[in-house]
Structure 1
Amino acid sequence: MASEAAPGLGLVSPPWPRPQICPEVAYGSLSFSRCSPRSPQSSLSSSNWRIARSSSAKSRARSCYPGPCSRPVTRSRAWATITSGAVNSETLLGRFIKEIKQEEQSKIVVATKFAALPWRFGRGSVVKALKDSLERLNLSSVDLYQLHWPGIWGNEGYLDGLGDAVEQGLVKAVGVSNYKVDRLKRAHDQLKRRGVVLASNQVNYSLIYRKPEENSVKQACDDLGITLIAYSPIAQGILSGKYTPSNPPKGPRGGIYNAEFLSKLSPVLNKLKQLGEKYGKTSTQVALNWLVAQKNVVPIPGAKSAQQAIEIAGALGWNLTADEVEELRDIAKRVSPVVGFPVENL
């Protein structure tokens, strides 16, 4: 479980098999990837938070998996993030993993989470929930098991449960999500006393939502050797350039990223497009590359098609210059960020 520094890069190699270059296809909360080994700084994964509710999700995902990447593939991995209550998704994913192992002898990497729901008490609830997930997945262990958010109470017990899961061989590494600095340090210290490494902290982080930098969560992760997993890395699609003041997103996102906000965001979107034209990349790829440039960060953008998976993979294998990284940050600072997930403040 020891965490090692990557030579010459100042990065932390987590004790779980971190995805590297991953064009992925996700249906429901299932996420599949084909990955080529890169340097530790080329780290990218994918997630999708909707629950798959029918077997059609499996067939669509399976049909996209064999050929999303035109470049040579030397290793294949599946990175799965399962939301609380996604019983059907876990069952479908378990079937998919079995098929992939039989057909391609793939290296499968699975991550799932424990939802700290009010009626779940103590360490035993963590282990029980994981065992239930493993039964649905038809696996003996998973690679990464995270607390989905801080509990209203009983966090020490939940952390003990993570340690128990490691000691029982049910998971290779453990992490947390949406933990601010004081909680993160306490979790790290509590697990360390048992000889267990806290591998990850999954938080909202993007070019236009840099709270992990402002509240010192990013620095704490770097100092403690904890990988920061960045969800919403393209701000729910806003940084893709797809939306404009005259064409805001539909549904709940439209209430957050409205025409007024998008007007203020125009300088950021224009710069992303300009840099994309310079490197022959899309705005999405530039925004993801900016996150990777922060070091010790694994962005997890969602992909719902092979085309999107290929686009995600194109965020790696090249680098913005240091000046370009800082210029994007300076432009983004002029835009007030939207409100994040409230549990960050627990």
Structure 2
Amino acid sequence: MTYLPADARYDSMQYRRSGRSGLALPAISLGLWQNFGHNRPMETQRDILRRAFDLGVTHFDLANNYGPPYGAAEENFGRHLAADFRPFRDELIISSKAGYDMWPGPYGNFGSRKYLVASLDQSLRRMGLDYVDVFYHHRPDPDTPLEETMAALDHIVRSGRALYVGVSNYDAERVRRAAAILSDLGTPLLINQPSYSMFNRWTERDGLLDTLEDVGAGCIVFSPLAQGMLTDRYLKGIPSDSRAAQYEWVRDQIDETKLARVRALHAIAAERGQSLAQMALAWALRDERMTSVIIGASSVTQLEDNLGALSGPVFTDDELAAIDEHAVG
């Protein structure tokens, strides 16, 4: 059946401008990291993407190695784009990244011009696109000069492969240097994508939002639900089908002290009439300089629950103080 998006798709979503750019992003964006590989039913993927767009989620966030296997999320998204979203391409923001390992050898990782340009060309072929709206350098490279990496991003924009460029996992000092280099080249830094949640507040200590404001860039965060910890899933321990049960690096972050914090935050959310996930997303968006938060979704129900974060009450000072007692990270 031909997909026709909801006529009211822009009525309830909030959109926030990225820094001093002309680009507005939905306050909640959909990330395709874990749930759009070849191990997930295409019908489920399709339903999530369609429902997201029906609810005003115009930004789909990908990377070259999202899967599994690497490249699968972009391949599958390309199929959904061709089947459902091609007529609405100009209503979409499609982003991708390169910076982590993608193929063997010295040219398939980190931040060289060789890697970034080749990787984006591969991403465009997988998705069937002429360009992405935003292309990110996915992580700092300790060996490649920052000047080379930023020059590659500038080249990518000038060559028509991307409309905007961003960085991910950059701290405040590196953001400031990257933005200055890009400014001299004539291509502004659009946005930075760090990790951030109630249990991961390094960006506050780093002064990242202040730096991004200074350079005119936005901020879009990943893992705002702390790999599922800031949901109702862990109130009674670690479920067998949870991400913590599947991945040791997630499980290693969980102990009884953290679970006690989860339960306390859940109680605060309940008093606000929200799920814990909704409160955690609203909390991450509490600063108006925060452009967007990226969520994952394994079902339409989960997607809809998370988007409910935008209709919750404004935080009171007492609520924020109570959250701070348990939001430690």
Confirm or deny a common fold (TM above 0.5).
yes
Q: Does the alignment pair 1:181 with 2:175? A: no
- Aligned equivalents of 1:62, 1:317: Cα separation in 2: 25
Out of 192, 196, 205, the residue aligned to residue 205 of structure 1 is: 196
Counterparts in 2 of 1:194 and 1:319: CA distance versus 1, 3 Å = farther
Q: Does the alignment pair 1:217 with 2:199? A: no
What is the correspondence of 1:61-140 to structure 2 with a 5 Å cutoff?
Answer: 61-67=45-51, 73=54, 77-84=58-65, 86-101=70-85, 107-115=91-99, 117=101, 119-120=106-107, 122-140=112-130
Alpha-carbon deviation of 1:300? 0.8
Alpha-carbon deviation of 1:329? 4.7
Alpha-carbon deviation of 1:10? 10
- Aligned equivalents of 1:261, 1:18: Cα separation in 2: 35
Q: Which residue of 2 aligns with 1:60?
A: 44
Letter in 2 for 1:111: S
Q: Does the alignment pair 1:301 with 2:265? A: no
Q: Does the alignment pair 1:288 with 2:288? A: no
Alignment deviations for residues 190-236 of structure 1 (CA, whole Å, 9 cap, x no partner): 00001211111111111221100001122211222221111110111
* Contact 2:29/2:61, CA 8 A, preserved across alignment: no
- Aligned equivalents of 2:318, 2:216: Cα separation in 1: 27
Counterparts in 2 of 1:209 and 1:56: CA distance versus 1, 3 Å = closer
Q: Which residue of 2 aligns with 1:172?
A: 163
Alignment deviations for residues 46-81 of structure 1 (CA, whole Å, 9 cap, x no partner): 224237553854332114444469xxx585635131
RMSD of equivalent CA atoms = 2.9
Counterparts in 2 of 1:316 and 1:74: CA distance versus 1, 3 Å = closer
Q: Which residue of 1 aligns with 2:25?
A: 19
Q: Which residue of 1 aligns with 2:255?
A: 258
> SS at 2:252's partner residue?
helix
Alignment deviations for residues 231-269 of structure 1 (CA, whole Å, 9 cap, x no partner): 110111111132136447424222211234323x15xx4
> SS at 1:256's partner residue?
coil
Identity rate, percent: 23
* Contact 1:116/1:150, CA 8 A, preserved across alignment: no
Q: Does the alignment pair 1:161 with 2:152? A: yes
Calculate the TM-score normalised by the size of structure 2: 0.80
Counterparts in 2 of 1:123 and 1:312: CA distance versus 1, 3 Å = same
Counterparts in 2 of 1:105 and 1:126: CA distance versus 1, 3 Å = closer
Runs of 4+ in 1 over 6 A off after TM superposition: 103-106
Out of 332, 337, 340, the residue aligned to residue 326 of structure 2 is: 332
Alpha-carbon deviation of 1:98? 1.5
Counterparts in 2 of 1:87 and 1:242: CA distance versus 1, 3 Å = closer
Q: Which runs of 5+ in 1 are unaligned?
A: 1-8, 21-42, 338-346
Alignment deviations for residues 116-147 of structure 1 (CA, whole Å, 9 cap, x no partner): 55823732432222112111211110011001
- Aligned equivalents of 2:288, 2:219: Cα separation in 1: 9
Calculate the TM-score normalised by the size of structure 1: 0.76
Aligned length: 298
* Contact 1:273/1:282, CA 8 A, preserved across alignment: no
- Aligned equivalents of 2:173, 2:78: Cα separation in 1: 36
* Contact 1:91/1:137, CA 8 A, preserved across alignment: yes
Q: Does the alignment pair 1:310 with 2:291? A: no
Q: Which residue of 1 aligns with 2:220?
A: 229
- Aligned equivalents of 1:187, 1:195: Cα separation in 2: 12
Q: Which runs of 5+ in 2 are unaligned?
A: 1-14
Q: Which residue of 2 aligns with 1:344?
A: none
Counterparts in 2 of 1:327 and 1:216: CA distance versus 1, 3 Å = same
